[in-house]
Structure 1
Amino acid sequence: MLTLLSGVSLSAPLRAEPTAADKALAEGLFQDGKRLMDEGRLQEACAKLAESQRVDPTVGTLLNLAVCHEKEGKTASAWAEFKEGSSLAASLGQQDRAEFAAKRAAELEARLTRLVLEVADAAPGMVITLNGNELSAAAATGSGIPVDPGEATIEARAPGKQPWQMRVTLDPGPSAKQVTIPALANAPAPAEARPASPPPPRPPPARPGVDSTGSSMRTLGFVAGGVGLAGIGVGSVFGVMAMQKAGEVEEGCSGNFGCSPADVANNDDARTSAMVSNIAVGAGLLCLGAGVVMVLMSPSAERAVAGQPIWVAPSVASDGGRLTLGGRW
């Protein structure tokens, strides 16, 4: 293998001079690339050499990169690098390198793979890309473009047109592949923007405290009413029992022998049942009245908004309980 040593730095317009650290990094990459190329690991070698050339461009690194690409089968890349290296070496007075690079470029040119592009109808503003590299339609068509063998992607786009793309396989040269780019179809017209529908009307503001407070009052009212009805039920049961016991006592004590001990016991039971009945019924009426008041006076009711007063007055007397309802309508 021919070894080309790097040594002379190339000046590039608008590029800062490489620092000592850059030069050290580039030299390390260059040595790694040479070693990998000797080992036949061409893809890794070419990547190392390309990075070395980017960090610190030199004629020697560029020509070694061209040799690596030639071995890798990338004839177009190697051809372009040999031509550039020949020109740079000549400008720096390195005649031996310039002649070597020019000879290798001429040998590669005879076996290049070329891609010939034809455009059926060049739309205004058309841009063609080859493997991501952008070309104008005028520059890309008519003559063969040197390309590396293998897969290639051709794309064409223009304002107001649908993009076109094609993948082709390019054989090793010398060969030429012709591809015709068809007339680009018109892009679909953009959909007309529909007027935005008006937002839904906002719900009326809720009256503060009415729903939550009214719901709680109604719930407590129903509970209190339920307890009241249960109390009235219990009191009614005991009232019936008291009346039954009182009837037995009256029947037993009406004879000539007076009241028996059983009659006396029945009389006590009747009094106890009557007392329980009165208490249960009275308490039931109070709970029921309180429940009715809470349900009717809950602020969620419409009459609360209208301000119509309603009142309920429960009361307990010796002969039973009463519930009085009043108001203005």
Structure 2
Amino acid sequence: MTSSITCDLAAIACSVAIALWASEAHAQEPAARDPVAAEALFKAGRTLVKQGDYAAGCPKFEASLALNPSASTMINIALCHEHEGKIASAWEDYHRAIVLNRETAGEQRKRDLEDIAKKGIAALEPRVPKLVVTVEPAPEGLEVRRDGKPLPKAALGEALPADPGPHEVRASAPGHEAETQTVTLEEGKTATVKLTLRAGSKVEPDAKTGGGVPTWAWISGAVGIGLTGAAVGFLVDDLSAISALRENCREVRQGTYCNPGYDYAADNARKNRDFGLFVGLGSAGVIAIGAAIVGIATAGSAKEPARTAIALPWVAPDSAGATLVGSF
């Protein structure tokens, strides 16, 4: 920030308030630099916290940092987290302030800010809780999440800083039952969460659907595809019969004349039969596929009663179809 900002620890401590440095903000695309707006936001934050409006004041520091990253703003955010009790977040913020301080103009100012950040780190070091996560066994495809955020496999077994309070750890892997544990961390203490993945076929219901696709939906879909394929086969044979009739027969004044030796009755019967089967089986296939789509789309609703249905095909000499049976 500008030279008008005092840098002693007491002055900065008076200018901060409670705020949350959301880690997902680091993944967002950085805003374009605007030092003038950043300075205005910083001063607005100082004014608000002096008035006791911490909730409105501290986000001003975060907005200022997004527009113009600086060590002094980062230190204020660290103190915000420290005041809120998120000492691991504050500890991380002080470290980031030291990195940002490389860009600070003026050697004396740079030394002052570095001294503040190092004192903050030293004061928090013995208070920061740590969490150790272990998973046994660690199968292929293992995924571990701490508070919903991925935890790298290399981090397993390491004591990692975390804020005091409750934390949820979840481990999952293909072909294994997922396990979730919750632990509450205390200042200055190290806690260990040991997760055990057991091999099994248990599949956890999806939070949005409440379950998986019912078996009848897959069966109905398979039947529908089979019926549709058969219908297409009869359509091809029907077109073949029509083609043969056109090649060997023609309309004359006395009626229909066919080439000698050509079996008109057989192809004509085949044409009529194939067309009926095409319409019947095709309609049945559409019904069965439609039922499968409905079953898949509505699968897993925990509040709905179980539904079962299946398409049963039938074939007559000159037609075919399907009957949809089940409970809805």
2:272 alignment counterpart:
none
1:101 alignment counterpart:
117
RMSD over aligned Cα atoms: 3.3
Which amino acid in 1 is paired with 2:112?
Answer: D
1:182 deviation in Å? 1.3
Deviates more, 1:188-197 or 1:146-155: 188-197
1:77 deviation in Å? 0.7
Q: Which of 172, 180, 186 is the matching residue for 2:200?
A: 186
Tell me how far apart the structure 1 counterparts of residues 75 and 175 of structure 2 sit (CA, whole Å). 44
SS at match of 1:174: coil
Tell me how far apart the structure 2 counterparts of residues 196 and 25 of structure 1 sit (CA, whole Å). 65
Per the normalisation by structure 2, the TM-score is 0.50
1:220 alignment counterpart:
none
CA contact (8 A) 2:87 2:124 kept: yes
1:175 alignment counterpart:
189
Which amino acid in 1 is paired with 2:115?
Answer: E
Tell me how far apart the structure 2 counterparts of residues 186 and 40 of structure 1 sit (CA, whole Å). 55
Tell me how far apart the structure 1 counterparts of residues 94 and 167 of structure 2 sit (CA, whole Å). 22
Unaligned runs of 5+ in 2: 1-9, 16-28, 204-211, 232-276, 281-328
Tell me how far apart the structure 2 counterparts of residues 71 and 26 of structure 1 sit (CA, whole Å). 23
Unaligned runs of 5+ in 1: 6-14, 204-329
1:112 alignment counterpart:
128
Asked if residue 31 in structure 1 is aligned to residue 46 in structure 2, the reply is no
Tell me how far apart the structure 1 counterparts of residues 51 and 142 of structure 2 sit (CA, whole Å). 45
Cα deviation 1:210-242 (Å, max 9, x = unaligned): xxxxxxxxxxxxxxxxxxxxxxxxxxxxxxxxx
1:122 alignment counterpart:
138
CA contact (8 A) 1:42 1:68 kept: no
Distance 1:129 1:31, change over 3 A: farther
CA contact (8 A) 1:37 1:68 kept: no
1:187 deviation in Å? 3.9
Which structure 1 residue ranges, 4+ long, deviate > 6 Å from structure 2? Answer: 189-192
Distance 1:89 1:133, change over 3 A: same
Cα deviation 1:61-93 (Å, max 9, x = unaligned): 111111111111110011011112123325645
CA contact (8 A) 1:83 1:101 kept: yes
2:162 alignment counterpart:
147
Aligned residues: 192
1:156 alignment counterpart:
171
1:184 deviation in Å? 4.5
Cα deviation 1:14-36 (Å, max 9, x = unaligned): x88945xx334333332333334
Asked if residue 2 in structure 1 is aligned to residue 11 in structure 2, the reply is yes
Per the normalisation by structure 1, the TM-score is 0.50
User: What percent identity do the matched residue pairs reach?
Assistant: 29
Tell me how far apart the structure 1 counterparts of residues 182 and 95 of structure 2 sit (CA, whole Å). 28
Deviates more, 1:33-42 or 1:151-160: 33-42
Which amino acid in 1 is paired with 2:120?
Answer: R
SS at match of 2:60: helix
Distance 1:161 1:102, change over 3 A: same
Deviates more, 1:27-36 or 1:128-137: 27-36
1:40 deviation in Å? 4.5
Distance 1:120 1:16, change over 3 A: closer
SS at match of 2:11: coil
Tell me how far apart the structure 1 counterparts of residues 99 and 30 of structure 2 sit (CA, whole Å). 22
Distance 1:16 1:154, change over 3 A: closer
Distance 1:44 1:106, change over 3 A: same
1:37 deviation in Å? 3.3
Asked if residue 58 in structure 1 is aligned to residue 70 in structure 2, the reply is yes
Distance 1:78 1:16, change over 3 A: closer
SS at match of 1:46: helix
CA contact (8 A) 2:172 2:178 kept: yes
Cα deviation 1:122-170 (Å, max 9, x = unaligned): 112312222232222221x222111111222222222343433333322
Tell me how far apart the structure 2 counterparts of residues 27 and 150 of structure 1 sit (CA, whole Å). 34
